[in-house]
Amino acid sequence: MSRQSIGILGTGSYLPKEEVGNAEVAARVGVPTEWIENKTQILGRRYAAPDEATSDLATRAAAGALEQAGTAAERIDYLIVSTSTPDSPQPPTAYHVQRALDAHAAACFDINVVCSGFVYGLALARSLVAQRPGSHALVVGADVYSRILDFSDRRTAVLLGDGAGAAVVGPVPEGRGFIDFELGSRGDAHRLIRVEAGGSRLPASAETIAEGGHYFRMEGRGVRDFVMDNFPPFLRKFSDRTGVAIDRIQHFVPHQPNGVMLSELVTRAGLAGAHTHRTLERYGNTGSASIPVTLDEANRAGRLKDGDLVLLGGFGGGMSLGVGLMHWAVTA
């Protein structure tokens, strides 16, 4: 493995144009508008246009990241798309993004780790770039959840939105870039977040559609308990292994599930001293897109300074956990 420093060269994001406020969702779900805000702190979200698929959002976000990085699409060696709402079961959504960008030198693949997927993608990208010095990777997190929402289920329909975020990964100056990653999976908790039908166990049929098997389902209380019980010790283990104390972290860019839950998690994880970046109030929970969208907003607003310690934190369906720590690199 090369000892070159590897980090993020540029970020991008794309949110669909259609803004969907709580009043509209509340009317469809059958709850008061205030209930949504009080339970989630979400004020709005974006839904993809009828002619937009996940790859369309991903391509827009990826183009923004490439532009900021000053990296041509043909210089991308690896293109990784994290999504749980692909354009279709096959081919991988990454191939549609490759074609749209003309990134024809890239090896492409999808991963599906739901809301931790962007962190997993960065960890993979770091390893791939390290084994081929001078190479570049493009990591995209994108989801279109509006297509799999059951608006009779207030536990999920009020939370989710659509979006995409991306990052270009490559060589950065010494002393900057990724420090390390920690990834974890708990398949014994897989039923907490699920889409039950449409795969090889329950293929799409008139029966599965009638039963709502293609809709996103989540056990909200179970998910909250899982995250509170597992993420803080997971982060402490990571801190002990890397030797970087949690109270040294300056920026926390987490998955954006629910505002009330996120505030509690920050306190429990010992991250109250860090600046927690949030976009959920405007965009809701955008799945794999939530971390890169939030990272891009923080980056483009100039909130991340060269050398700052930035922690990315993912948790969600699987159930999965993922954290990544870096010294932010300002490369422009």
Of all residues in the chain, the percent with pLDDT exceeding 90 is 98
Of 96, 136, 251, 255, which residue is the catalytic one? Answer: 255
Give the count of domains, the chain. Answer: 1
Give me the amino acid identity at 15: L
Residue in the block written with tokens 């949030």 = 278
Residue corresponding to tokens 């509340």: 26
Average pLDDT of every residue of the chain: 97
Give the mean model confidence (pLDDT) for residues 142-171: 97
Q: What is the CATH number of the domain that holds 223?
A: 3.40.47.10
Other CB atoms within 10 A of residue 245 CB: 11
The yes-or-no answer on residue 115 being catalytic is yes
Q: Using one digit for the tens of pLDDT, what is the confidence trace for 53-82?
A: 999 999 999 999 999 999 999 999 999 999
How far is 56 from 66, CA to CA, in rounded Å?
15
**Which H or E element spans position 242?**
helix 220-242
Whether the pLDDT of residue 1 is over 60: the answer is no
pLDDT value at position 332?
66
Residue 268 phi, psi dihedral angles, 5° rounding: -65, -35
Rg of the chain's alpha carbons, rounded to an integer?
19
Q: How far, in Å, CA of 159 to CA of 229, rounded?
A: 22
Closest CA to 69 of 121, 11, 16: 11
Catalytic residue status for 38: no
Distance CA 66, CA 57 (A): 15
Domain extent for 137? 1-332
Give the H or E element holding residue 80: strand 78-82
**How confident is the model over 32-49, as a mean pLDDT?**
97
Residue 99: pLDDT over 80: yes
Q: In this model, does residue 319 exceed pLDDT 60?
A: yes
The predicted-structure confidence for 226-284, as pLDDT tens digits, reads as follows 999 999 999 999 999 999 999 999 999 999 999 999 999 999 999 999 999 999 999 99
Given a contact cutoff of 8 angstroms between Cβ atoms, the answer to whether 301 and 236 are in contact is no
Distance between CA 126 and CA 78 in Å, rounded? Answer: 11
Contacts of 222 (CB under 8 A, 6+ apart): 189, 192
Cα separation of 63 and 67, whole Å? 6
CA 306/CA 89 separation, integer angstroms: 40
Q: What is the mean pLDDT of residues 142-167?
A: 97
* 104 catalytic per annotation: no
Spatial neighbors of 209 by CB under 8 A, at least 6 apart, are 197
* 2 has pLDDT over 60: no
At residue 25, the pLDDT reads: 97
Q: What pLDDT shows up at residue 4?
A: 87
Catalytic residue among 251, 285, 299, 327: 285
Catalytic residue, chosen from 22, 96, 108, 115, is: 115
Are the beta carbons of 102 and 74 closer than 8 angstroms?
yes
Q: Tokens 């990241």 map to which residue?
A: 65
Predicted pLDDT at 3: 75
